[in-house]
Structure 1
Amino acid sequence: MNDQQKQFILAFMAYAAQRDISLEKLCRLSGINLQALTSGGPVDISRKQFNDLWLNACHLSGDPLFGLHLGESLQLAALGIVGEIVKSSTTVGQGIEHAVALTPLITDLFGMTIERDAGTFTLRLIPDEVNQAASPFAFSQMADFFLVFAVHELDGLILARIRPERVTMPFADKAAVELERVLRCTPTRSGGDYSITFDLKYWDMPILTADYALQESLLQKINAVAPGRLTSDSWQDKVQQYLLKNAYLGIVPLEEIAANFNVSPRSLQRKLKDEQVTYQELADDVRKSLALHYLETGGYYAKEISYMLGYNELSAFSRAFKRWTGKAPGGYRRNFE
């Protein structure tokens, strides 16, 4: 198992822990040595173990769309590869071409191709038939993961919420609503085709060079909040971590977080109420924490920070910041210059 595959497995484990899955039980059922996996040394996971890992994660979480939700939440966990793509690309198209070339570093269950026509470009998964037959469950979960990960990473390249033109994949009727929410378009059912199509206008868009620095800054902030931790102690902590990980496109709504953890919005609100906190209070705390972090690093203007935190107007951000600190953003920054 190479470094990128191990990084993926560790991100998988971190997400499983957030979903209240016992990592010891998950690894025991899958025949994986958890201590060896987290020790930092070399580790090898067989094809059967990898397939069993997905099976048991879906079973223990009660979530048949575990791969889809993992892809929705994993932006920063894959920062190493994404950072290299950003640093070596100037346009979205170049970034996609580099990402496709890096697919074999993550999985040998399939490859990816890019198809372009007059108005769109399509990312298509090409199964390795032998490996797919040997690990059918892992294949379907990884395919779901890659499709949604593509959407969310394109978001990150241009700091905008992109809506695909079309998504084609096999799926069960009961999964259709959740697939549409996560993938942002109504999926088209197929027998075995996995593909996602975007408007060609995105292809030549420049990658925002600040994006890599922004994601790196966010990662530093997350690590400072919870250094080296794979587990979450409370629903408050889980929600806070999710908000931090996804904050580079603003504060995500309660409904998205609830769906990612496979609970209803009302149930999540009740769990937070039991911990004597509300979602709005957590969202406000994350906004405040990130605003202070960005200003203290000195790399962003107040207008940029306002946009990154989801405020439509700089004046709204300034009012909130003054409520938090008693100072305007500009006055606070001068303390660190």
Structure 2
Amino acid sequence: MSSEYANLTRRVREAGLLAPRSRHYAVRITAAALMLAASGAAFVWLGDSWWQILLAAVVAVIFAQVAFVTHDIGHRQVFTSKRAARRAGILLGNLGVGLSYGWWIGKHTRHHANPNHVDEDPDVSVGGIAWSPEQAAERRGFLARTLTGWQAYLFFPMLLLEGLGLYVSGVRALWRRDVKERALESVLLAVHTVACMSALFLVLSPGKALVFLAVNQGLFGFYMGCSFAPNHKGMPLVEEKKLDFLRKQVLTSRNVHGGWFVDRALGGLNYQIEHHLFPTMPMTNLSRAQPLVQAFCEEHGIRYHKTGLIRSYGEALAYLHSVGAGLRGSRRAAVPARVSRQPN
């Protein structure tokens, strides 16, 4: 079966889809830096005004777009040099957005290696959300079990805390010395934090500053969560490591179609199947690779799932609701799909 993936890789390479797109990313990185600078200038110009809350929402979108570029850098789509990629990622992630690049890249690498694996993927590990009936059954206490039972209704509100969660997780990783370039990352993250908090409380009254911070971080986390949730949530879980690479990546991933707006709003991550099969492929090439990969999967009888954006959220929420069924007093809990070995 490894020959299948090799065959697909050959077709993709012959189509020129693995070639770097340096000019494209030069434009995106420059645009990201200019947007951050422009938002800073607008913040100073508006002064102590409630119009700043609108700017807080705009900055949340800018942060998310910068995070998408940082994601691509982490996958070596921008720089062939590992050192250059790491330094650029730290600069944009820690200083630009306020996230620990080293912590995130470690977590994301584990996810790519074993997507939706119940024991190996940190994105489906035990946390605020139960991703499997087994995780739901382990909940203890009336409140925890009740919240898990109705977690589908709480999913989107919980995303408002995702930005804070990403920041705190990065700080914890730095404190535990789990990050390679701990000193550099710590300094840049501290500069980001001090600069942002100083600007908020020097320009705005305390009340407006707190509202700005809550709106900005809430919407940033919500945007990021809504961008990543359609990719794997509600897709089959994996319990074994015997799946070949091709099926492991395709069967656990979902593509989202919707045209140029969805492509840009989700940073190209809506082509999740192609991205997981070829992580170093520039995001701008994924849409061109999509029909090629889908045709290949159909040739080999491999289920290739794609849907619209709203439908993808519906599938994810239905899955979460089924996971919590056993905690809502239901007689029988719906069992989410599982992948084992080599299904089609």
Same-fold call, TM > 0.5? Answer: no
Scaled by the length of structure 2, the TM-score of the pair is 0.30
Scaled by the length of structure 1, the TM-score of the pair is 0.30
Greater fraction of residues in helix: 2
